[in-house]
Structure formats: structure tokens, C-alpha cells
Amino acid sequence: MGQAQNPRRIDDNQAMAKARMMRVSPQKLNLVAQLIRGKKVEKALAELEFSRKRIAIDVKKVLESAIANAENNHDLDIDSLVVDQAFVGKNLVMKRWKARARGRVGRIQKPFSELTIIVKEVEEAV
């Protein structure tokens, strides 16, 4: 018997990759995600390669994973892939304390984020 297969959450011409527990604030990660939204994957990879942001290395890994998923799992043509969506979500926040003057405490928050990248195969108009 067994359970029926779950339907796909995305279209047939799309592939997804997700990274969780990225040690950066969602606001900073969103700045890098904005660089690649709507671009062809070759241009997006080049943009991330030469970005000066630290987290761009991890975003590039997630994009490469989405491209590999598209090619191997969904049989999509990697030359016609476009970054359809790149969105950022909040994850946990580590809370730390630092001693300050007169017996007070300084609160340090270390946020984590998660990134989801969806690539889409598009037909090029001639």
C-alpha cells in the first residue's frame, strides 16, 4: 500500500534549494538576495563571485545547489534558467550578554536566517 506521493509545491519548470541556519541577519542577507533576483543564473553566479559581502559565498552555494537540482532531479536545461525567487526568512536568535559599567548588562543578539532560491526554466524568444 503505502502513502500517496505529495504534490509538488512549485511548478514543473522550477527547482528549489534552501539553506537554513545561516549566521547573518535577515536584513543583510536580503541585500545579497536582491542582487540575483530575476537574473539569468550565469549573471547571478558572476555577481555573487565578485561581491564583497561575506555571506555571498554561502548564497552562491545555495544557487549552485538549485541549479544542480534543476539539472539532475527535474531535467531542466541549465542554459535557460533564471532566478525566479530568492527570499529570506528569520530563524533563531542567540542571546548573549556583555558586562557593562555600573553592574549593568549589554544585550548581544546573534541572528540566524534562512534563504530559499527558486530557479525557473524560461523559453527564450527569438
Per the prediction, the chain carries an average pLDDT of 95
Cα–Cα distance for residue pair 75/112, rounded to 1 Å: 33
- Per-residue pLDDT band for 80 (boundaries 50, 70, 90) equals very high
In this structure, the number of other CB atoms found within 10 A of the CB of residue 126 comes to: 3
SS3 108: strand
Whether residue 15 is predicted with pLDDT greater than 70 in this model: the reply is yes
Averaged pLDDT for residues 66-90 = 96
pLDDT digits (tens, 9 = 90+) for 19-56: 999 999 999 999 999 999 999 999 999 999 999 999 99
- Per-residue pLDDT band for 125 (boundaries 50, 70, 90) equals low
Amino acid 16: pLDDT: 97
